[in-house]
Structures are given as C-alpha cells and as structure tokens.
Chain A
Amino acid sequence: MSPAMIERLIGAFFDTVAMVGFSALIALAAGIPLAVFLVVSAPGGFVEAPRLNRAVASVINGFRATPFIVLLVALLPFTRLLTGTTIGVWAAIVPLSISATPFFARIAEVSLREVDKGLIEAAEAMGCRRRHIVRHVLLPEALPGIVGGFTITVVTMIGASAMAGAVGAGGLGDMAIRYGYQRFDTTVMIAVIVVLIALVSLVQATGDAIVRRLRNR
C-alpha cells in the first residue's frame, strides 16, 4: 500500500469514528427518553397512555422497517434543512442518528421493562414520585442492559456508516467499496476490513468491560 493510501485509510478511519461517534451520542440522548416513555406509558406502566404509546411505537417501527440506504436518500431534504448541506460527514450524521435512535430505544426498552416490579413497588411505598422512580430505580437498575444495548447499537452503526459514502461522507466502508471493490485493490480491501474488525472489537470489548463492572457490584 502506498503512503498516500495509508493516509487515506487513516482519514477514512477518523471519518467513521466521527460519524458514528456523533450519531451514537445523539441516539443515546434521544433513545433513552424514548425508551423510558415506551415503558412507563405502556399498559400497566405508571403513566399509562396506551394511545400515545401505540402512536410512538408505530413511528419507531416505521423508521426501523426502512432500509438505511433508503432512509439516507429520503431524509435528504430534512438533512439540508438541519445542516445546510446534503454531502459530507454532517450530512451522514443526520440519517445515521435517526436510524439508530429507534433501534437503540427498542433495546433499552427491553432492559427497562425487565426491572423487577417489586423494586418499583418498594420505591412507591417509600414515597418516591414518578421522576424519582425513573431516576433512582428504572435507569440505574437497567443500566447494564442499556450499556450492552448501546454497544450493539454502535457496532450496527459502524456497519451502516459504510453506506454514508453515498452522500460523500467517506469513512472506512466507502473506501472499501471504492478502492477495494471497484478498483480490485485487494490489499486495500483487506486493510480496511482489518481496521473495521479492530474497531468493532474495541467497541465490543469496552462495552463488555463496562457491563461486567456494573454487574459485579
């Protein structure tokens, strides 16, 4: 591999990290409230709102059913509205985070729903208000599951970011397609795959380590 190609590879690596990193933060910030809403507004939850719950759930399902590449194109007008451009890293972050948020929200929802009902009852019995229950019971107790789910979300996003090349955002996946596949450069292809594997492994290992620490208390 030429030094220029190595430089390109490093650039692509940071593009991927930036895209996935920003989008992941947005998905985290938006997904957790969404998951909490889904759990507490569900029938039997402590702020029951079945209709609103169903409405939000359908919207989430809609986004989850749409393939990312389609979402990427369909969201172009919205992306332009938000970022003023439809190409580059920022243009990729919008669809990436919009696709990751419902995915993560669903995973976090499962963890939150599995919090022992007895703990919620105990919190009510000690005079906790609803916001206290969310803050002191639901979120901390579901945290290991949420962290595990977030890890899965990030890994999925690394995969999805390969399609960001379609809006000229670059990144590792784009490089593999353009140089490795379209130019038959097997060395570049292998190098990109190795870097991707390393990146995914690092993310997974970090997530696992945090979960282990949380569970080992």
Chain B
Amino acid sequence: MAAVSMPVAERRGAAEAVARRVSAPWTAASAAPTVSLDESQVDTGAERGDAVGTVAFEGVGKVYRSAAGEVTALEGIDLAIPAGRIFGIIGRSGAGKSSLLRTINRLEQPTAGRVLVDGQDIALLDTEGLVALRRRIGMIFQHFNLLSAKSVRDNVGLPLLVAGVPRPRIRERVDEVLDLVGLSDKHRTFPSRLSGGQKQRVGIARALVHHPEILLCDEATSALDPETTISILSLLRDINRKLGLTIVLITHEMSVIREICDDVLVLESGRIAETGPVWKVFGDPRHEATRALLSPLTRDLPEDIADRLRASPFPGSETILELRYTGVDGDPDLGQLSTALGSRVRLISAAIDRIDGHAQGRLVLGVHLPPNKAKQASCASGGHLKVLGHVAGDD
C-alpha cells in the first residue's frame, strides 16, 4: 500500500492541510485557496482557476469484459458539466447512468476517453492523488450505505478521521454539517434507528463533511416515499445554492429532474440521447427515450373524449384541438386564444407546468370552428396546434 510508505512528517502535513480546509467557513470553501505542503497531493484553488467543480467527459466509453463476452456500457460520451449547476442524468435501468456517474470519482475506470475534473485528467492520478480527488467529491447513495456499527456522529466523521483530522476538529465539523441537514439531535443514534429520509440526511452530511466541490447523487431518492423525496430534493437544492457546489445526480424519475435540475442528460443504451436545459428538453423532447421517460408525467386524452373521437368532421361535430407549449414562445395567451376561437370554446383538459420560468405543457380544447381558423388562433396564442379529431357536439 502506497499510504504505508508515506513519510510520517508528510502525512502530518497533509492532515494539517485538511484540518485547515475543514475549519474554513462554508462560503470560502470554493473560493479560498487551500493550504497544503505538497501541491501534487491536494490541489490549490489557484491551480484550478476560478471554476471549481467542473466535470468534463471527452469521448468516454466503458466496455465490460466477461466470460460471456463484451458489454458496452458507455460509448462516445462528450459532455461538460459547468460548476455550481445541478446536472441530472436520466435513463432507463441499464442505460449506463451508474457507470457514467462513477467515472467522476474513478469508482469506475473508463475504457476509452478522458474524464477531467477541474481540467485535470483523473486517470493520471496515483493513489495519493486519487484519495485527494475523492475528498473533493462527496457521494450519496440509493441505499444510503451508512455503517451500521457506527453512530451517526462517527459515520459523518469517518471521512475526516481517515484523513487524519484531529478529533476536536472532527467534532466541530460534524456538529456543523448535522446542523445543516437538520439532524443536530441525532448524534448518538445508530443508523438502524433512523427513518429512510433521516438516513439519507446522514449520508448527505457525510458527503459534505470535507467541503467538497462536487456532490454525486446515485439515485438518492429512489428508495424514499414521495414526501421524503421532496424534502431531500429541497435540501439538495438548498445545499447547491448555499455552498455553490456542483451536483451531479442520476435518476430514473423525470419528476426528480423537474424538481431540482438545471440541466439534464438523457442516456439511452450508453449513449447521449439528448442533453440541454431541463425546460427545453421537457418542453420539446426530440428523442424517443426522452418521450418514453416523460410519458408518466403527460396525461392522455380524457377517456370519455377518446372513446367518441372520429377522424373526420360531421354535421354538428365539435373539433378537438391540442395546443402544445414548449416554453420557447412565451406563456399561453388566453385572451387572444378566445378571441380567435370565438365564443363556443370549452377547455377539456389542461396540463401547464412552469420550469425555470418557462410555461410548458398542453391544452385540450373543444371548438366549433373550421380548422383553418383554428390555426390562426394557435399562432396568436403561441402554441403548437394539432387537430386530434371530432366528437358529436353537446347540442
């Protein structure tokens, strides 16, 4: 083990450097240069430039070789994650999300391409460098992965303990992060006595204890009930805002992406299907995989209408229109819509959501109008129109 051969004096130096980092106030963590005796072991802020917490993938691929043959988990991933953002990676199970996330702290080694953290190729790091990198990257897990034999305090303090931080400092810092995640009264409790949400809070506290610049979330809310999911997600958003750290999360639930992410990447069979700001990808999904993942969030045509729907108009029929808003052309203008469609308009169903200040979703309307006139109306209101069909009118 390389660590064993490390001279004692040097080890102490590294420990002090970590200790000093630990005592730094929250906001200074990303800006203040870290003090270190050996710059190759702990990067200084100056070395990395201003943008601390960026991740870049360059042609990253991963092939698993086994007796049964080769399995390609990732292929040709080119991506830049900017500092301070909440970046979501979504895909069906087996899409390679987990492998991709784990290449960031080298729990997985890519078989092709490079992964850069703050511009540094992490494949080149030796054991010491890797340990230092992992201390800059926190990680939380679907099943929390807390040590059952240690109390909450010892779980959270473990990353500092193994880094050689003196115990009083550890105590101080553990109190600080437990306070941040809202568990200041649970120091002595063992993980088995905590609820799922509390366990994940401990996991978050443990991940933050080193003042990381990047937080990796591996399906962090998939094992939690909806209410707890929301509270954990809002905690993550708070942390992102307060501490300015980059969050990279993977999930198979679009609702998680919608709730907190700034940007999203849709992964399909190890390749990038689509990527961009969440509101754009959600408002106008271009890839089949994205639509499939979004389908639980989109409602079908109401059944009573769908059952009676006919393809062509007939005397006295009511035309069913769908107006889709992608968020690009502004909010639905109801005034203009009703002016253009005349007085006999009814709203059948509506699902408009607002993501990042962009209204998107769809309206289903019943009108008594020739289709060409309806077209004008849709232009006026900023939506994309589709005639779904015709049903017998109410009268």
Contact = CB atoms under 8 A, between A and B. Distances in A.
Contacts of B192: 217
A206 to B, nearest CB: 20
A125 B145 CA distance: 11
Contact of B147 (A129, A130, A136, A214): A136
A129 B105 CA distance: 14
Contacts of A127: 131-132, 134-135, 159, 162-163, 210
B149 A140 contact: yes
Interface in A122-144: 122-132, 136-137, 140-141, 143
A214 B150 CA distance: 11
A116 interface: yes
A141 B143 contact: no
A126 B139 contact: yes
B107 A126 contact: no
B137 A125 contact: yes
Given A126-B159, A129-B3, A141 B149 contact: yes
B149 A124 contact: no
Interface string B147-164: 111100000001101110
B149 A122 contact: no
A121 interface: yes
Interface in A84-139: 116, 118-119, 121-132, 136-137
A126 B134 contact: yes
Contacts of A143: 149
Contacts of B159: 126-128
A128 B162 contact: yes
B158 A124 contact: no
Given A118-B143, A124-B134, A129 B162 contact: yes
B42 to A, nearest CB: 11
Contact of B139 (A122, A130, A131, A140): A122
Contacts of A116: 143, 145
B interface, size bucket: 20 to 34
Contacts of A140: 147, 149-150
Nearest to A119: B145
Contacts of A141: 147-149
B330 to A, nearest CB: 44
A48 to B, nearest CB: 14
Contacts of B147: 119, 136-137, 140-141
Contacts of A132: 162
Contacts of A129: 1, 3, 127, 131, 162
B4 interface: yes
Contacts of B131: 127, 129
Contacts of B162: 126-129, 132, 136
Nearest to A137: B147
Contacts of B107: 121, 124-125
Nearest to A129: B3
A65 to B, nearest CB: 30
Contacts of A214: 149
Contact of B145 (A118, A131, A136, A217): A118
B139 A125 contact: yes
A67 B135 CA distance: 51
A126 B206 contact: yes
A116 to B, nearest CB: 7
A132 B190 CA distance: 20
Interface string B71-107: 0000000000000000000000000000000000101
Contacts of A131: 1, 3-4
Contacts of A124: 107, 134
B3 A125 contact: no
Nearest to A217: B190
Contacts of B138: 125-126
Nearest to B209: A126
Interface string A138-161: 001101000000000000000000
A62 to B, nearest CB: 29
A33 to B, nearest CB: 15
A127 B1 CA distance: 14
Contacts of B137: 125
Nearest to B134: A127
A46 to B, nearest CB: 11
Contacts of B1: 129-131
Interface of A: 116, 118-119, 121-132, 136-137, 140-141, 143, 214, 217
Given A127-B131, A132-B162, 18 more contacts: A116-B143, A116-B145, A118-B143, A122-B139, A126-B158, A126-B162, A126-B210, A127-B132, A127-B210, A129-B127, A130-B1, A131-B4, A136-B158, A140-B150, A141-B147, A141-B149, A143-B149, A214-B149
17 contacts: A116-B145, A118-B141, A122-B141, A125-B107, A125-B137, A125-B216, A126-B139, A127-B132, A127-B135, A127-B159, A129-B127, A129-B162, A130-B1, A140-B149, A141-B147, A214-B149, A217-B192
**7 tightest CB-CB pairs across the interface, nearest first?**
A140-B149, A122-B145, A126-B159, A217-B190, A125-B139, A127-B134, A127-B135
